[in-house]
Every structure is written in structure tokens, then in C-alpha cells.
Chains A and B, each alone.
Chain A
């Protein structure tokens, strides 16, 4: 079975802190994704990566950056956390070839106070 893990289930940070969210997958997938999920807005793509050291912006990249130094690990970085970044963050991975089914991690509930 594909396994996607995220470093924390719950995280509380203060405004202005630098925050790191880590995601690891064990299926040698080429593609990895970071989404955020908010009530009424659904899931929105922040960033994704299709190879080591490669990244592309999603729909809402402002205030975030990412790092992919190893194939299995994809990190989301909040450079200076703000209260409007309080959200559920979901990581996903998929293979580069068919069928490109996406597998999700358990999510990190981030609260910025």
C-alpha cells in the first residue's frame, strides 16, 4: 500500500514564525503536491513538484515556499506565518505515469495565533 506521512497532525505557531511542514512518501512517486483545505473553499493547490529540486506554483502560492531535496520528501515552508494561514494542510503524491492516482497523507491542522 502507498503510504504518505506528514510530520505533525496538529501544530500551533505564533504569527511571524517560520514553519516547516514535512511530507514523506514510500512509493518512489515522481509527483508530490501540497494543498490547503478551508471550509467553504474546498481544497486548493499551493505548490507541486514533479522531480527532485523541481517545483511549480499552484493556485495560491503566496506566502509559501517548498523544498524537494530528495525524491521521497516534500517540504512546505511558511516564511512568516500569518493568521490567515490557519488551515488544514494536505500532502499528496502520484506516479509520473498512468494512472496518476493521487494518494493523500493524514493532514496537518495548523493554527497560527
Chain B
């Protein structure tokens, strides 16, 4: 059974710092991996999707990488800002089976201090 782990559970950094959030998964037979952002009491906002054939995706200050063989993904945030404070969730979609439900990690709560 696929399990997704995110470390650390919480992270506090000063504004301007570059940072890396980690995600690991136990079954490498994934279809894709998505990174989401969730603000308190709100829904999830999709940040980046990496398909299984890709190594990385970039959007603005965000870069996500995928290493299927080691079961790892990282989300790199450059020049962090207080507005980046949120919980970041990693989720994988397995091959086969149902029509694409995601298995989520429990998230990393990021706090960027001015």
C-alpha cells in the first residue's frame, strides 16, 4: 500500500531564505506527483504536477523535482516571503486501479518570518 511521508512536519525560516521541502513515497510505480498549498481553513491550491516521465517542473520561485527510483520528491522555494506561509502537501497518483485518486502526505507547515 502506497504511503507518503513529508519531513519536516513544520519549518520556520527568516524571509529571503531558500528552502527545500521533502516528500517520500514507498511505491515507485506512480503516474504523477502533485504539490499543493493550503492556507488555514481553506481548500488546496495546485502548485506543480510532475508526470512520471518528468524529472522536474518549475513555476516562478518554485521548483519541484522527482526521483522515482528513490521514491523522493522535493519542492524548492527560492527567496521565501511571508506570503509563502502555509501548509504544503505532496500527493501521488498510482498506476492502475482507480481513476486517479491521490494519496496524500500529512504536509509541512511553513512559517516565513519577516
The chain A residues found within 8 Å of chain B, CB to CB, are 4, 30-31, 33, 40-43, 45, 48, 50, 56, 58, 90, 92, 94, 96, 98-107, 109
- Cross-chain contact B46 with A42 (CB below 8 angstroms): no
> Which residues from chain A contact B31 at a C-beta distance below 8 Å?
100
> Which residues from chain A contact B89 at a C-beta distance below 8 Å?
43
Contact of A58 among B36, B41, B101 (CB under 8 A): B101
Query: Bound state CA distance, A40 and B106, in angstroms?
Result: 7
Query: Bound state CA distance, A92 and B45, in angstroms?
Result: 11
Minimum C-beta distance from B56 to chain A (A): 15
The chain B residues found within 8 Å of chain A, CB to CB, are 31-32, 34, 36, 41-46, 49, 51, 89, 91, 93, 98-102, 104-107
Which of A30, A42, A109 counts the most chain B CB atoms within 10 A?
A: A42
Query: Bound state CA distance, A50 and B101, in angstroms?
Result: 10
Question: Knowing A42-B104, A107-B43 touch, does A101 contact B49 (C-beta < 8 A)?
Answer: yes
Q: Which 8 residue pairs of A and B lie closest in terms of their CB atoms, listed nearest first?
A: A50-B99, A104-B44, A43-B104, A106-B43, A42-B106, A104-B43, A107-B43, A100-B100
